[in-house]
Chain A
Amino acid sequence: GAGVSQSPSNKVTEKGKDVELRCDPISGHTALYWYRQRLGQGLEFLIYFQGNSAPDKSGLPSDRFSAERTGESVSTLTIQRTQQEDSAVYLCASSLVTQSNQPQHFGDGTRLSIL
Chain B
Amino acid sequence: AQSVTQLGSHVSVSEGALVLLRCNYSSSVPPYLFWYVQYPNQGLQLLLKYTSAATLVKGINGFEAEFKKSETSFHLTKPSAHMSDAAEYFCAVSVFSGSARQLTFGSGTQLTVLP
**A interface residues, Cβ below 8 angstroms from B:** 4, 6, 33, 41-43, 45, 48, 50, 53, 56, 91, 93, 98-101, 103-109, 111
Contact = CB atoms under 8 A, between A and B. Distances in A.
A100 B44 CA distance: 17
Given A42-B106, A43-B105, A50-B100, A100 B43 contact: no
A100 B46 contact: no
B101 A108 contact: no
Size bracket of the B interface: 20 to 34
Contacts, number: 60
B45 A100 contact: no
B106 A100 contact: no
Interface of B: 32, 34, 36, 41-46, 49, 51, 90, 94-97, 100-108
Contact of A103 (B49, B90, B96, B106): B49
